[in-house]
Amino acid sequence: MSQSNEPSSAAVIDTNANETNLSEQIVPMWRQRLRIFTHNKLAIASLLFIVALVLFCYLGPVLYHTNQTDQAAALNVAWNAPPSLHHLLGTDSSGFDVLGRIMYGGEYSLSLGILAGIITIIVGTIYGMISGFLGGIVDTVMMRILDAFLSIPILFLLITLIAIFQRSTVFLILIIGTTLWFGNARIIRGDALLIKKLEYSQAATAMGGSKWHIIKRHVFPNSMSNIVTVATFSVADAILFLSTLGFLGLGIPAPQTDWGTMMQNGATQQPNGYWWEIYPTAVVFVLLIVAITYVGEALRDAFEVRLLER
Amino acid sequence: MLIYVLRRLVQSFIVLLIVMLFIFTLPYFEPNGILAPAYIVLGTHATPQTIHLWGVQNGMFHPFFVRFWNYLLQVFVHFNLGHSYKQNMSVWGIISLYVPRTIWLALSSLLLTVFIALPLGVYQASRRNSTFDYTATSVAFILYGVPSFLLGILVLQFFSFGWPHLPASPPGGVSPWAMFTDPAGFILPVLTLTLLSIAFLSRFMRSAVLEVLVQDYVRTAKGKGCSQSRVLFRHALRNALGPIVIILGLYIPQLLGGAVVIESVFNYSGLGIQTVNAAATLDIPTVLGITLLVAILTLFGNFLADIMLGVVNPRVRIERSGQ
């Protein structure tokens, strides 16, 4: 990636403040990165949206009481009722309040997506680090295994795994988490390969540092930026795949729900003109994915060394 | 070059073996073990005796490695993918019925994508930060956030239930040539798959061209008086094609995965729906056969991408022959 000799951040600041006392002028790295991130207005808006959505999903039910789990009680409510004062976004085909359902389904979509995303990044990081750092025959074998996984469409793999295991929440997290890490492992491996060859790692090796020590103190902290960025995209991917599974009828079993399952139910009612059962969920969902992706892009920019001098 | 091709072939074969071993091992983790399909095939009235009999008939009680070896022999020596547990057909029969239908869907949208996304990316890069660039980038961004099934539903809503009344689903049946005999039904599914792919590819194309445009040889080309279009299409595009070709090779499994969703939204009987059904009913021979086929397609795509890389980029060609 970095063919040119990039100026280190210290050198950049050095040229900016050549007359004054240097120690006063050095801005910590994280603050420079924060500044680049906050320069990006859209990223801040996205971050605020994500926070607002999380609050809406987890604190909303406290303010807006609805029945979301009792299917028998929901049968007494008018089904497919249009939005009214009583049900702000109407009711769905089972009689559940749609606005409350968005909060309730959002809790599952968000928590499953985030947990599965964290699993993918942990597994991917460990696999990529080992493969890239050890190199040689271990790397070749591990990469061929990765090639094998990458040549199966992820959706096929997910469907097969869900057919074999159960459709419970825990298994969905584990299944999505263990099928989406292949791409992450490849990125982290590239990073580990690169950092291993850099001077400071070689110096540490020359001074007799063990492999574990070099991974822990040099390779891992220096690829942290990539790990964080990749993790953001992984969460978006996990939420997307969960919704696709929900659409195929393989999501969280009723009466629990997630946004994908809700959109699937809404899609069957949409030809009847019951727009409130699909469009509000769809808008929230798409905005969330776009926001997460945008935060990821902004993080990537913030960690980009070449932009530090801005 | 020949040695390079041979080495790639051996590597691809090993990758195939890993894929097969993986899918073959999965059923062993089912709570009912490898007899789990028996419960689905024989239905609710199955007795322990009939289930045991089914296991004996299908050779389920052999040790794992014996079973895997037999399967390998069956596939690579006898070219037989086995018999479906659930449908009364051979796996090859299922594949040959449905593959052409999915391939037409995927291939036509892939071609459309390349013809639209590449010029779009070049144009965006050449008009960087213009209104058009911003608009195209944000549209691609939003499309990227829309799950494929939702895009399908929206397309249906606006183009089939709305004013331009296009058929909501392609013709049924299993005719492989349906795309040519009744093309109107294919407009919406192909359009949806194409939109998704364009959102994916045009961003890569834009950044690839942008990276090339700052290179010295582009400046030289401008300096010696080449026209704008000549610089863009002769100098920039050709050099930007390298990474795009690789990405296209890697995109094949995603495209087929997207076809699964598109097929179920538009109710088009193809390989995707067959896979979902086979996986849901634990029809392991069918899942294995289809996965094997998709893996071969992917590996072939990656292989082709590597060869194409040599075609579009002479430097790679020299590097390889020099090794």
A84-100 pLDDT tens trace: 877 788 888 888 888 88
d(CA B45, CA B43): 6
**The tokens of A242 are what?**
């969960």
Q: Which residues of A129-167 are buried (b: 16+ CB within 10 A; e: fewer)?
A: bbbbbeeeeebeebbebbbbbbbbbbbbbbbbbbbbbee
One-letter amino acid of B140: A
For A163, nearest residue in chain B (alpha carbons): B280
- Cα–Cα distances (Å) from B28 to A172, B31, B61, in that order, read 19, 8, 12
B318 — contact with chain A (CB < 8 Å)?
Answer: no
Low-confidence ranges of chain B (pLDDT < 50): 323
d(CA B95, CA B129): 47
Q: Supply the pTM of this predicted model.
A: 0.84
Residue A14 has pLDDT above 50, yes or no: no
Across the A:B interface, residue pairs with CB atoms under 8 Å apart total 126
SS3 at position A91: strand
The answer to whether the CB of B279 falls within 8 A of the CB of A156 is yes
CA A229, A232, A237, A240 torsion-angle sign? negative
Residue A4 sits at φ, ψ, to 5 deg, of: -80, 160
Joined tokens for residue A100:
């409350």
DSSP-assigned states of every residue in B257-307: HHHHHHHHHTT--SHHHHHHHHHHTT-HHHHHHHHHHHHHHHHHHHHHHHH
Residue with tokens 């052999």: B62
Integer CA distances (angstroms), A68 to A61, A91, A211, A262, A282, in order: 10, 11, 53, 13, 19
| pLDDT surpassing 90 at residue A123 | yes
Residue A110 half-sphere exposure toward CB, CA atoms < 13 A: 19
Instruction: State the residue for tokens 């499309």.
Output: B143
- DSSP 3-state of A278: coil
Q: State the Cα–Cα distance between residues A221 and A228, nearest whole angstrom.
A: 11
Cβ neighbours for B124, distance < 8 A, ≥ 6 positions apart: B132, B133, B136, B137, B202, B205, B206, B209
Nearest chain B Cα distance for residue A49, angstroms:
15
CA-based nearest distance B197→chain A, Å = 15
Please tell me whether residue A234 adopts helix, strand or coil conformation. Answer: helix
CA B251-B7-A153 angle, 5° bins: 25
In this prediction, residues A165-179 reach a mean pLDDT of: 87
Give the residue from B114, B94, B35 showing the smallest Cα distance to B288.
B94
Lowest mean pLDDT: which of A147-151, A206-210, B28-32, B199-203?
B28-32
- Please tell me the total number of residues recorded for chain A in this structure: 310
Best of B11, B14, B15, B28 to substitute, by most chain A Cβ atoms within 10 angstroms, is B15
Q: What is the pLDDT of residue A285?
A: 93
A277-284 average pLDDT score: 90
pLDDT, position A7: 42
Q: Give me the half-sphere count of Cα atoms (radius 13 Å) on the Cβ side of residue B15.
A: 28
Rounded to 5 degrees, what are φ and ψ at A16? -70, -35
Burial (Cβ within 10 Å: 0-12, 13-18, ≥19) of residue A184: buried
Q: What pLDDT is stored for residue A122 in this prediction?
A: 93
Residue A92 to residue A112: CA distance in whole angstroms: 23
Distance of alpha carbon A89 from the chain centroid: 28
Which 8-state DSSP code applies to residue A210?
Answer: -
Query: What's the confidence (pLDDT) of residue A23?
Result: 54
Helices (H), chain A: 9-16, 22-25, 29-39, 41-63, 71-74, 98-134, 136-150, 154-164, 169-179, 182-197, 199-206, 211-214, 220-222, 224-247, 259-269, 279-303
Nearest to B261 among A244, A286, A289 (CB): A244
pLDDT of residue A234: 92
SS3 A93: coil
Contact A152 B253 (CB under 8 A): yes
Q: Report angle CA A168, A174, A176 to the nearest 5 degrees.
A: 95
Are A120 and A180 in contact, with CB atoms under 8 Å apart?
yes
Identify the helix (H) or strand (E) that includes residue B3: helix B2-25
Query: Distance between CA atoms of B102 and B270, rounded to whole angstroms?
Result: 5
What residue has token string 């090859």? B92
Distance CA B114, CA A82 (A): 44
With an 8 Å Cβ cutoff, is A165 touching chain B? yes
Cα–Cα distance, A96 to A213 (Å, whole number): 55
pLDDT of A217 reads 83
Residue A109, pLDDT score: 92
- Provide, rounded to the nearest whole percent, the portion of chain A with pLDDT above 90: 21
Number of residues assigned to chain B? 323
Q: Which helix (H) or strand (E) holds B178?
A: helix B178-181
- At residue A97, the 3 state secondary structure works out as strand
Which of A15-24, A158-167, B91-100, B244-253 has maximum average pLDDT? B91-100
Q: Does A159 touch chain B (CB under 8 A)?
A: yes
Across chain A, mean pLDDT equals: 82
Over the stretch B159-203, which tens digit does the pLDDT of each residue have?
A: 877 777 778 777 777 777 777 777 888 888 898 999 988 888 888
Residue A235 in this model has a pLDDT that exceeds 90:
yes
Is the pLDDT at A13 greater than 70? The verdict is: no
Nearest to A163 among B256, B261, B282 (CB): B282
Q: Tell me which of A114 and A91 has the higher pLDDT.
A: A114
- Given a contact cutoff of 8 angstroms between Cβ atoms, the answer to whether B143 and B135 are in contact is no
Which residues, 6 or more positions from B58, have their beta carbon under 8 angstroms from its beta carbon? Answer: B85
List, in order, residues 6 or more apart from A48 with CB less than 8 Å away: none
What's the confidence (pLDDT) of residue B164? Answer: 75
Q: How many CB atoms lie within 10 A of CB B207?
A: 15
Chain B contact for A259 (CB, 8 A cutoff): no
Distance in angstroms (rounded) separating the CA atoms of residues B287 and B130: 48
Is this complex scored with an ipTM above 0.85?
A: no
Cis ω before A255 (30° cut-off from 0): yes
Could you say which DSSP state residue A81 is in?
P
Q: Does A143 touch chain B (CB under 8 A)?
A: no
Contact of B280 with B86, CB cutoff 8 Å: no
pLDDT tens track for A33-82: 788 788 888 888 999 999 999 999 999 888 888 877 777 777 777 778 78
Contact B235, A129 (CB under 8 A): no
- Best mutation target among B150, B256, B300 (most A Cβ atoms within 10 Å) is B150
Above 60 in pLDDT, residue A16?
Answer: no
CA distance B208 to A177: 31
Determine whether the interchain pair B294/A278 forms a contact, defined as Cβ–Cβ distance below 8 Å: no
Instruction: Give CA–CA dist A246/A263, Å, rounded.
Output: 8
Q: Which chain A residue lies closest to B27 (C-alpha atoms)?
A: A164
Question: Helix or strand or coil: residue B145?
Answer: helix
Q: How far apart are CA B43 and CA A107, in angstroms?
A: 37
